[in-house]
């Protein structure tokens, strides 16, 4: 089982991002997803910067994948997409059907079907596999049982990647909720996301942490954590675990996942140790076919 660092969801200053990925190069991950997938207005990291990061990571022995923008609105979004697809060195994760279309047209044969492509059944997996998708990033809301069903039914089994850690990306909008909070419009947002390294907590009127506002993206408040479900992930034949970036304890988390995958620490113990590294309480409901925010303790 491989360990992947998913695409960065937040907007950080360029140097902070560079430092973050310099550390990642030394971490025990096998795959790193890079690039801006949330907001086309974010420009601290230019595409050239991402390519520099990608080359450094590749030299450190990582498989690098460029993750495409989830919400494509304009011709300039499409231009960036074409540049990603046009480069010869790295695989691309398609997070929108425009990316799929561009990859097919360019004749790519090893792309990743991203979690927002909504691949929920064998027939749809077959459509994308025939067009060159060789890895499937499971939509977070999909339960283990449905995932098993898809894998049993598709013509060619793809490499399977499950999001196993991080605040879950739950929704995308044309509207920027961070800008809205500051009574700004998106086009003149003053890049307020830069001041919120892990987004802005949204609580209910009785103080319960519910969601996280991250520009045009809405995330869970709770942190999805499948460390305790590792035996089930392995039994289902999952090939890759995806961990999403956070601002603190990233190196410890990746090391913990690595040790758990390699059997150097029991999953329950790894889950217990991860508590100190998380910014908020854990949840794993989706994997169990339940409301995402719920937490199920694996049966001993």
Partner 1 sequence: MTANHPIELVCPAGSLPALKTAVDAGADCVYVGFKNATNARNFTGLNFTDASMREGIRYAHDRSRKVLLALNTYPQAGNWPEWTKTIDTAADMGVDAVILADPGLMRYANRTHPALRLHLSVQGSATSYEAINFYHEHFGVQRAVLPRVLSLPQVEHVIKKTPVEIEVFGFGGLCVMVEGRCSLSAYATGESPNCNGACSPGKHVRWEQTAKGMETRLNGILIDRFSDDERAGYPTLCKGRFAVGDDTYYAIEEPTSLNTLELLPDLARAGVRAIKIEGRQRSPAYVQQVTRVWRAAIDRLKTDGDRFAVQPEWMTALNNVSEGQSHTLGAYYRPWK
Touching partner 1, residues 151-180 (CB under 8 A): 152-153, 168, 170-177, 180
Site for partner 1, residues 36 to 75, rule: CB under 8 A? 70-75
Whether the CA torsion 2, 275, 36, 204 is positive or negative: it is: positive
User: 147 or 265: whose CB is closer to partner 1?
Assistant: 147
Size of the site for partner 1 (CB under 8 A): 72
Residue 150 is encoded by which pair of tokens?
Answer: 């898809």
Site for partner 1, residues 270 to 299, rule: CB under 8 A? 285-286, 289-293
Q: Is 193 among the annotated ligand-binding positions?
A: yes
User: 27 or 116: whose CB is closer to partner 1?
Assistant: 116
Residue 223 is encoded by which pair of tokens?
Answer: 């942190």
Q: Is 283 among the annotated ligand-binding positions?
A: no
Site for partner 1, residues 12 to 41, rule: CB under 8 A? none
What's the CA gap between 222 and 278, in Å, rounded? 9
Is 213 a residue that touches partner 1 (CB under 8 A)? yes
Q: Is 176 among the annotated ligand-binding positions?
A: yes
User: 61 or 207: whose CB is closer to partner 1?
Assistant: 207
249 backbone φψ class: left, alpha, beta (φ>0; ψ -120 to 50): left
Residue 300 Cα distances to 93, 198, 224, 266, 288, angstroms: 36, 34, 20, 12, 16
Stretch that binds partner 1, among 17-25, 45-53, 116-124, 235-243 (CB under 8 A): 116-124
DSSP secondary structure letters along 15-42: HHHHHHHHHHHTSS-SEEEES--S-TT-
Residue numbers in the known binding site for [4Fe-4S] cluster are 39, 176, 189, 193
């Amino acid at each position: 089982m491989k360990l992947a660092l998913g695409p960065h969801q937040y907007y950080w200053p360029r140097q902070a991002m560079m430092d973050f990925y310099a550390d990642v190069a030394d971490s025990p991950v096998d795959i790193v997803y890079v690039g801006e997938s949330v907001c086309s207005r974010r420009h601290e990291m230019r595409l050239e910067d991402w390519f520099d990061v990608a080359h450094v990571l590749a030299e450190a022995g990582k498989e690098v994948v460029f993750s495409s923008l989830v919400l494509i609105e304009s011709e300039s979004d499409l231009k960036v997409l074409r540049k990603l697809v046009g480069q010869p060195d790295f695989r691309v994760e398609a997070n929108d059907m425009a990316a799929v279309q561009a990859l097919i047209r360019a004749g790519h044969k090893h792309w990743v079907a991203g979690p927002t492509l909504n691949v929920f059944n064998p027939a749809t997996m077959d459509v994308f596999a025939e067009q060159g998708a060789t890895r499937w990033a499971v939509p977070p809301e999909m339960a283990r049982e449905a995932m098993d069903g898809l894998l049993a039914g598709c013509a060619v089994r793809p490499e399977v990647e499950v999001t196993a850690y991080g605040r879950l990306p739950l929704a995308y909008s044309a509207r920027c909720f961070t800008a809205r909070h500051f009574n700004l419009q998106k086009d003149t947002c003053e890049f307020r996301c830069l001041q919120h390294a892990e987004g802005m907590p949204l609580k209910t009127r009785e103080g319960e942490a519910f969601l996280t506002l991250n520009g045009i993206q809405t995330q869970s408040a709770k942190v999805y954590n499948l460390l305790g479900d590792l035996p089930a992930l392995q039994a289902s034949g999952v090939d890759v675990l995806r961990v999403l970036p956070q601002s603190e304890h990233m190196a410890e988390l990746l090391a913990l996942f690595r040790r758990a995958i390699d059997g150097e620490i029991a999953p329950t113990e790894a889950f217990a140790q991860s508590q100190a590294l998380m910014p908020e309480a854990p949840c794993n409901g989706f994997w169990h076919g339940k409301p995402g925010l719920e937490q199920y303790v694996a049966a001993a």
